[in-house]
Amino acid sequence: MQVQVERRGRVSGFFGGIGRGLTWLRRWILNLLTLVILIALVSLMVRSCSEKEVVTIKDKTALVLDLKGSLVEEKSRPDSSLLSLASGDELNNEVQLRDLVAVLKAAAEDTHITRVLLKLDQFDGGGLASLREASAAVKRFQASGKTVVAWAPNYSQAQYFLAAHANEVWLDPAGGLLLDGLGGDNSYYAEALEKLGVKVHVVRTGPYKNMAEQFTDKAPSQATLESSAYLLDDLWSVVTNEIEQARELPQGKIMQLINDLPAPLEAAGGDLAKMSLDQGLVTGLKDIQQVREDFIKNGEADSEHNTFRQIGYEAYLASLAKPDTSGDGVGIIVAEGEIIDGEAPRQTIGGETTAALVRQARLDDTVKAIVLRVNSPGGAVFGSELIRRELAATREAGKPVVVSMGDVAASGGYWISTASDKIFADAATITGSIGVITLFPTFEGLMDKLGIHQGGYATTWLKSAGDLRKAPDPRFEKLMETYIHSTYQTFLGHVSKARKMPVEKVNEVAQGRVWTGQQALDRGLVDALGSLQDAVNAAKQLAKLPDGASVRYIENEESEYDWFLQKLMGTQLFADLQSSLPESLVPTVLQPELKQLQHETTRLQRLIKPEQPFNAVVHCLCEARL
């Protein structure tokens, strides 16, 4: 009887398991079908709305550039994402640089557009090189004889840099503007990690390769302070000089104003807006209603909407005719973000993904030259090398390769740039950082605190030499040092060959040190200062193409469905991460520190993998956002 009951229990359990599995499978299929139907419906709605919308631009129309989000080279999502309709402006948090340039160019030639309102209250800024390209586009629009007016309730430093190039710079009377410079303090976690029993080991090439310094030291090294001062002072001089020229202020006016504070503010009665007007930083104090009245007076009224006749940035962008990309021409490939091995989504450079784009361009007979737009602090060595090899193969196939550096083209970003015929950089580009580093933490102190010990047998010393639970074997450290220095020599060799410089000369400007574009030009690391358009023109000349030859972007064909799933998964993962440590348990003053630490460790986790014992990184933790 007991055996019979056991058998029945097993049979019942077996079929019960199948039943539960089928229930799970049914729910999964139903959820998937629901998701597909939802996507199809929203996609149809988007298509229907876009087909019905016809943009008609009347005379005396003002173009309102209500810029929202950060200035980027490439958007993180497909341009016509199906979720845009459902979530309104939530996803429209990026301004693609090429779109902004195209809109201003078209508006300059459009007789219906008479004026531009640069509305910047929701603009998050960007890198200095990108802001300079955007500012140059504003100046080219002004050259057509039309006026640009900038307005914001308060100006951040980045917003003001762009606004300063307008004909009129207006500020809300209750607002403010305060320029405060570049740089600042970083947090150093070595002592905190030491208290936890964690030690971070680093092998690097050169005193300026300071990517891991926040985890190994209690303060910045002298080399870091020296390099940072040389870089940031030059970038800040670019910022101040350009603002002073745009606003027709005396040279040195901005530094004088900052050094004289708080006296100028006291003279204005503590009113930041009045101080900004008194000092010539803005040309008028107006609230948004006064802005509307001025645009009605100098344009045309829109009585239906109780405002002035206008067209928004997104609507005007959508109305532009697609450029003709047929025939022989230049292909632009954007390399934006950190470089990782394998494949990667938008705003991250996957070694395989970007190499495939280069290969696609190389095998396309209509692409006669490539312009690689680099905006990257670097990353994985192998991913960088895959891209460099494909670019080198393109040149060997007889197609010119021209690099256009954006905000940052450092370390791995410079590694991939070496396989080119010509390199253009902006004066404010951050580049160089020619060096290699690896780092790995060990937790022997933490293990001791917890009373956890290790023991076992391995056939070789190397098998457990990289065990992060204990202090590293000295032979393993020597092994890593040898490997890192070998990789550094390879890096120097690529630069030496590309720049036609002796290796010893390259080493003098390498060792992990970063430079501005102007400083890099002075040291022979780039060929010229110029914009993306300058790089395109150079590529046409090298390929013997006419000036009117087509230009097209070569990008991954990521579907809206793929992006949606990535977005959904990323949101859930982030929610899980947040729920693991409620903010209520963390003192308010420490929350920014923990978020910064999480950001840094997440970045390192993408680059440093414990399962790969020989993990070299060509990465620069360098940026200078206004």
Q: Estimate to the nearest angstrom the gap between the alpha carbon of 605 and the chain centroid.
A: 18
Query: How far is it, in rounded angstroms, from Cα 355 to Cα 322?
Result: 27
Beta pairing class for 199-204 and 437-442: antiparallel
Neighbours of 510 (CB within 10 A): 24
Q: Angle 574-575-576 (CA atoms, 0-180°, nearest 5)?
A: 90
60-76: buried (b, 16+ CB within 10 Å) or exposed (e) per residue? ebbbbbbbbbbbbbbbb
State the DSSP string of 288-320. HHHHHHHHHHTS-EETTTTEE-EEEHHHHHHHS
Strand order in the sheet with 123-125: 94-96, 69-72, 123-125
**What's the CA gap between 382 and 461, in Å, rounded?**
26
Helix (H/G/I), strand (E/B), else coil: 248: coil
Q: How many CA atoms lie within 13 A of 376 on its CB side?
A: 34
The candidate with the shortest Cα–Cα distance to 331, out of 417, 384, 392, 394, is: 394
Instruction: Give the integer Cα–Cα distance in Å for 406 and 374.
Output: 6
Residue 276 bears catalytic tag:
no
Is 497 catalytic? The answer is no
Nearest CA among 179, 187, 211, 226 for reference residue 626: 179
**What is the bridge-based pairing of β-strands 378-380 and 617-619?**
antiparallel
Q: Residue 220: is the preceding peptide bond cis (ω within 30°)? A: no
Q: Is 432 left (phi over 0), alpha (psi -120 to 50) or beta?
A: left
Q: Are 170 and 293 in contact (CB under 8 A)?
A: no
Distance of CA 476 to the CA centre of its chain: 35
8 A C-beta contact, residue 235 and residue 428: yes
Options 135, 384, 411, 496, the catalytic residue:
411
| d(C-alpha 615, C-alpha 227), whole Å | 26
Take residue 518 and report the two structure tokens written for it: 């102007």
Residue 530 CA: distances (Å) to CA of 238, 275, 433, 518, 521: 15, 35, 21, 11, 11
CA-CA distance, 168 to 172, in Å (whole number)? 13
Which of 119, 199, 209, 274 is catalytic? The answer is 209
Cite the active site residues. Answer: 209, 411
